[in-house]
Structure 1
Amino acid sequence: MNNVVAEMLLTTPAPAAIWVTLWILTLPAMLLLASPRAMANPMQALRETFSWLRDRTEERRELALEAIAATQFAEEVRVAADRAALAADRWQERWELASDEVTEAWQAWLDADARLRTRRAGAAFGIPWSAQTPTEYAARERFLHKAVRTAADNGWLPAAAVADALAGRAGWDARLHPLEQELVVFRAAAGHLRDHYERAVATERAAAHDAELARRTRDSLRQESWLATTRAAELHRHLPAGLTEAQPAAEPTFAAAWR
């Protein structure tokens, strides 16, 4: 018989609700009958009973609100932690690219310096300073323009150097002997590539700093997400029935938070 009643209460909502209502209504009377002090002052006992029930209801409501807030906060922090992890990966990639650029810039500067030393050794034997005829001057001018353009195409000089050479400004002198012009080109290329290397180093340092900040932010949010998930799991049983079914609490494992 007991099993039949229990099965009816579990499978049929209406009788279960009626049974709970009757139990709540008879609870004050049961408490009065169970306490000799309550029988001596039933009104006081009833006031205390209803006060206790009111406090319990308020406590459950506050716990439910706290559980809802904790669940929402845990989800928000989890999303923020995921975004911070993606950002940290992007900053790490930028740092790695900047490091590769430093290595390439360093090697380019070394190569330019080697070319400059070689040309200096060749110029040590003496070079005529000025062009002797208009034809020779025109040939030297063509040589200079070609040398500067070739250096710019190879990345040894900036593109603006070509315009400067064509206009005869910024120190480009078509009257110089071709060997002297090569020396000027290689000297300018070495200086340009040295500046490029120094800028690459500064960029790499800034990228390393940003990557470190991104990693710290990611780790901090992961830790906060783990704590928030743990707190939400502790309060999960206090969630209203609809939210409990729709938003099951995640397992508050430290390893999962650090995946």
Structure 2
Amino acid sequence: METALSLIMLDVPRAAIIWLVLLVLGLAAMAVLVVQPIRPAHAVRPAGPPTPEERDLLRYADEVMVAADRAAETARLARERWVTTEDAAESAWQTYLSADEALRRVAAAAALPVPHTPQTPAEYADRERYLHRAAIAAHWRGELSVGRLADALAHRPGWDPRRHPVDQERFLLQMIRNDRLAEHEAAVEKERAAWLEAERAADAAERLRREAYAANAAAVPVTRQAADRVPTRTSPGRLAARWRALRVN
């Protein structure tokens, strides 16, 4: 019994030494992995200089990236123009609402009976002067265009100087309201065209940037986050052919 116990006591230090050595070796292996992690085989670029096709792809990617940067700047300017036209359309709408409200107020007042005035040459002369003054004042306020003012002063159809001043005021405000509505519709069309232009410019910049990333990913077979995020169905040979076509053109 004592002999067996003594044998066990002799083996305990030896086993402890063995476990200690194994622990040190394990810690050393972990330290090596931390300092120099193992890379996947597909993420390491093969040794040697790049092939001619890879050089073509890299040059093609550089040229496409330059084009993408220019397209991005074009898209930024197009978006600024769209924001400007959007503000202009909103301003035109508010101006139309103001003109429509003014016309409604005069139209409501015109529903009341107008005072009777004697139909004499002096009365018609006063009405004509009123029409001219009202049209000129509206023009100076920016509410009446030059063409409308010329029509009013020339007494073209619709601008009748023999009408009562209330009717003349209502007709003047109606012309102003119609012009403001036309201006708003034109501003909306301009805004829509600017928005489409901005969308096309943004799409063009995105396509060029994807093309450049695809060419880089095809030329340098190293795992990159940008290449992983940008899928492509274009083969490296087709990308190189596009670069050669650019060089020829």
Shorter chain as normaliser: what TM range? 0.5 to 0.7
TM-score normalised per structure 2: 0.64
- Residue identity over aligned pairs, in percent, reads 40
Partner of 1:80: 67
Provide the C-alpha distance between the structure 1 equivalents of 2:128 and 2:206, rounded to a whole number of angstroms. 61
Q: Is the 8 A contact 1:116 1:183 kept in 2?
A: yes
The answer to whether the Cα contact below 8 Å between 1:130 and 1:176 also exists between their aligned partners in 2 is no
Task: Give the number of the structure with larger relative contact order, counting CA–CA contacts within 8 Å between residues 6 or more apart.
Answer: 2
Contact 1:148 1:165 in 2 (8 A): yes
Instruction: Report 1:96-175 matches (<5 A).
Output: 96-127=83-114, 132-175=119-162
- For 2:149, the aligned partner's letter is V
Please identify which structure carries the higher helix content.
1
Deviates more, 1:106-115 or 1:152-161: 152-161
Which range moves more in the overlay, 207-216 or 63-72? 63-72
Distance 2:116 2:179 in 1: 25
Change (3 A) 1:124 1:69: same
Look up the match of 2:22: none
Residue of structure 2 equivalent to 1:69: 56
User: Relative to structure 1, is the Cα distance of residues 230 and 163 closer, same or farther in structure 2, using a 3 angstrom cutoff?
Assistant: same
**Other-structure match for 1:43:** none
What's the C-alpha RMSD, in Å, of the aligned pairs? 3.0
User: How many residue pairs align between the two structures?
Assistant: 182
Within 2, Cα distance between the matches of 1:129 and 1:204?
A: 49
Structure 1 unaligned spans of 5+: 1-59, 236-251
Number of the residue aligned with 1:216: 203
| Partner SS state of residue 94, structure 2 | helix
Q: What is the CA distance between 1:128 and its match in structure 2?
A: 6.2
Structure 1 residues 1-20: aligned runs within 5 Å: none
Match of 1:178 among 165, 179, 182: 165
Residues 65-99 of structure 1: CA deviation (Å, up to 9, x unaligned): 32332232112201110111011111111111111
Q: Could you tell me which amino acid in structure 2 is paired with residue 160 of structure 1?
A: G
The secondary structure found in structure 1 opposite 2:135 is helix
What is the TM-score of this pair, normalised by structure 1?
0.62
* 1:115/1:69 CA distance change after superposition, 3 Å: same
Q: 1:226 aligns with which of 199, 205, 213?
A: 213
What's 1:254 paired with? Answer: 226
Could you say what secondary structure the match of 2:113 adopts? coil
The structural deviation recorded for 1:226 is: 1.7
